Structures are given as C-alpha cells and as structure tokens.
Amino acid sequence: MSPTTIQLEKAPTHISGVDEILHGGLPRGRMIVLKGGPGAGKTIFGMEFLYRGALAGEPGIFVGLEETAAQLRENAATLGWDLSALEENGQLFLLEGSLSPDTILSGDFSLKGLLAAIAGKSKEMNAQRLVLDALDVLLRLIDAPHRVRSEMHALNHWITEAGITTLMTIRPQAYERALAYEAFFDSMADCVIELDARVRDQITTRRFRVVKYRGSAFGHNEYPYIISPAGIQIVPITSVELRHAPPGERMTTGIEELDAVMGGGYRRATCILIAGPPGTGKTIMTSTFVDAACQRGEKVLYISFEESVAALTGNLLSAGLDLAPHIEAGRLSFIASFPEAEGSEEHLMHFLNELNAFDPQHVVVDAISACERIAGMQAAFEYLMRLLNICKERGSTVILTNQLGIAEESSGISGNGISSMVDTVILLSYLSRPDRTDRMLHVLKSRGSGHSNLKREYMITDEGIQIMGVSQG
C-alpha cells in the first residue's frame, strides 16, 4: 500500500502575486520569518497580511515594537486601509509592544509578559493570524546568547501550542551577534522570506525571494515587487506551463497593401515587432493600425516612452492620422512616461493596473529600444517578458516598435532578447540609390501565417503610408 500524501494547510496572504509564488499561501499555524533591510516593506507586508486576512474572515493581532498604534493607523490609511473599522468589529487588534526606557536600561525582561498579553487577546477574538513586527529590536537588548536562544525556543513553543499563523519581521544586521540569532531564526522557522531593496544605476528596485518552505513547493526565483498606493504588488512568472492564447483571426493593419503582403493582415493575440532606423515611419505604421482598431470600436492601450501624448498625436496629423477622437471616445488610452522615472517593476505595475482597468484588445509599446534606460538590459528584458506574457495569456494583440541604427543588421532585431515571444517581424530600412534614398519594407517572419518575403518600397505621404511595388534594387 502506497503512503497517503498529506497536503500542508495554508493561510492565503491575499497579497497580489504572493500566493502564486507560495503555491497557495503561508503555512497555517506555523512560524514564518520575513527578513529585509530598511525600506523593503516588511511592516507593510505584515500589516497587509493581517488586513486582507481580516477582510476574509480571519481575525489577527499586530504587535508593533517600533511604531505606535496611532502611527500604524495613519500609515495604513495612506494605502486606503481603514484599520479602525476592523478594530471596532473585533477583526484586528494593534498591540504596542515597545519597552519603556527603564526596562531597557535594566535589561531585565523576557517575552513571557508579551506572550501572555497576546494569548489573552487571541482567545478573546479567536485570532488566527499574528504579526510580530521588528522582534529583533527586543532580542538585541539581551546580552547573554543563551537567554536569546531560550526566549526564541519559548516563542516557538508558544506558537506551536497556540496554532496561530505567525509572521515575524526582522532586520538583518552586519555584526556577529545578530547573525547568530538570525541563523537560529532561519533554522527554526517553517518558512523564510527575504525582501530586498537595492539600488542600481541610481534606480531603486525591490525583490521578493522565498529562502525555504518546509513541506511545500514554491517559486525559487527572485521576483520584482513594488509598494503601490494599494499595498504590495508582485507579478511573478512562476508556471512552467505556457498558457498563451492561440493566434486569432486576421484583422486589417490599416494599410491595404500591407494586408496583402501579410496574407490578409495581422493575427489577433500575436506579437508584432516593427523595427527600423529613425524616420522610417514605425510610429506612423503602428498608429495606422491603432486608428483602424479604434474605428472598429476596439480599445488600444498605447505605452509611449519617447513622446508625450500631445507631441505624438500632433505629429501624426501630418500623415493624415487624427487619434484625438478615439481618446475622447474612450477607445484609446496612453501611458506616457520617461523610462528613467522609475524601476521596471513600477512601470510594469502601472501597465498592469491600466490593463485591468481599461481592458483593451490591443497593446502598443513604443519603443522597446528605450526600455534599456529603465535600469539596464536585464531590467528591460524582465519588463518586456512579463508584459508580453501577461498580454499573451489574456489574448491581447501586442505591437512593439524598436529603433535600430542606420546600418544595423536584422539579426538581434528585438535588441532585448525577447525574439522568442515575437510572432511577426516587419523590418523598415533605407536603400541608398545614386539619386535618392528610398524606404524599404520587408516581412522577416510571421509565425503560423503565410506572407510575402519580397522587399517593397514604400512612401510616407500626407495620407499615411503607401506601399509601392517589389523592389528592383
């Protein structure tokens, strides 16, 4: 007889993206350690774990060892969380656990009194969740290492007996005594999570990582996260299974001649890359599609990294494209921002929030060549891969533009290592002749679709892009 597999019972955090990484949530009734330096968001994470748990019907207690209850309420209010309402309903309790100066000077204290207070309140409100915020503040005041170990053993025993899902936040310190009890925490806890805030190229990025999780599978990578106006947000890529929607029906590119070259137009739910040097009309070709889609009553979300909305829409008027009516009608929405303004995770979360609110059929990113300015090539890759994965799972069409050098070859045309996610590549280029310079269009690939592989001349006119015959040069 084969042994029966027992599934570990879990407490969902209800924090955006976290439960996906944790394969369902934190271990119920056990100890979890959350480590991170200043500004990593440990207190916010702990409070959100309690706040969202309380909203889901699981009462909780927050023990603050650095901040007063009034400060916690004020800080939570900036995120739109009304802690007072939950306190009044008996779903949340804020316990101030900071010590008086006299107690600190004497060094004569233990966790017994604090645990007794927690136990009494827990029984009264049937608490199922507990957060001990900045517990290391207390433990650093104990001089004898054996007393630290004794207090930690007592705490672990109490948690086991109480059966409360307990999240403890600690701030690692770079000196020997602190590292000793931190290592003890790591071995004693059933789940250890690290929050890391780092600065690279003058841009702050944050990363979430599960160090260990007894009895459960979990996502092993580092995952970018942000502290948004609504709390912690993570967009993980944790699944080994590709869940992309299949290519859909054809739709017009907005240019009749290009439809013929493409075998009837673009396929829905695919990724189209339009690449070329400056002045080849990438934005015009993309906006022609946007205009056609909006005229069909479909929505388009346009991410612009290089031009403001006013500048972009104004310049397009010279090519006979007026996008203003689509903006006014609510069919076209823009996200226009400098790449350097924030980290890749903030850019991604802003996109995701707008995507969910606007619910477009199509997404434009103009231009992906600017993404490297966010925080380097790796940040650009992470941003674009997550964006494309989200869009493909939703079945949204994505059009990317990429600015190439004048003499740049077609190899590595995406410039960001995302070629595997691109279904169609249209290369725009220049052809120098003795008496003039012509613009040329070439469809390099169109996955799962018939298309012409011949180079064609095209012109940018007052009425948009006009594709000519097959090039003879």
CATH 3.40.50.1980 fits 250-470, yes or no: no
| 48 compared with 114, residue with greater pLDDT | 48
- Mean pLDDT, residues 402-414: 65
- Mean pLDDT, residues 441-446: 91
- Residues 44-93: tens digit of each pLDDT: 999 999 999 999 999 999 999 888 899 999 999 999 999 999 999 999 99
Cα gap 59→347, rounded to integer Å: 34
* Helical residues (DSSP H) of 56-144, grouped into ranges: 69-77, 83-88, 101-106, 112-125, 136-139
- Residue 240, pLDDT above cutoff 80: no
| 470 compared with 453, residue with greater pLDDT | 453
The DSSP letter of residue 16 is B
Cα gap 216→32, rounded to integer Å: 13
**For residue 407, what pLDDT band results from cuts at 50, 70 and 90?**
low
List Cβ neighbours of 327 (8 Å cut-off, separation of 6 or more): 309, 313, 333, 334
| 325 compared with 233, residue with greater pLDDT | 325
- Residue 414, pLDDT above cutoff 70: no
Cα gap 238→261, rounded to integer Å: 38
- Residues 130-139: tens digit of each pLDDT: 999 988 777 7
Cα gap 191→282, rounded to integer Å: 49
Task: Enter the tokens of residue 383.
Answer: 């941003």
Topology (CATH level 3) of domain 10-234: Rossmann fold (3.40.50)
Cα gap 402→408, rounded to integer Å: 12
* Helical residues (DSSP H) of 11-108, grouped into ranges: 18-21, 42-55, 69-77, 83-88, 101-106
Cα gap 230→134, rounded to integer Å: 23
pLDDT at 4: 61
pLDDT at 84: 95
Cα gap 48→232, rounded to integer Å: 8
Structural domain boundaries in the chain: 10-234, 250-470
Predicted model pTM: 0.74
pLDDT at 301: 98
- Mean pLDDT, residues 439-460: 88
- Residues 10-38: tens digit of each pLDDT: 999 999 889 999 999 999 999 999 999 88
The reply to whether 10-234 and 250-470 are identical in fold is yes
- Ordered strands of the 60-64 beta sheet: 92-96, 60-64, 129-133, 165-170, 31-36, 191-200, 203-213, 223-228, 231-234
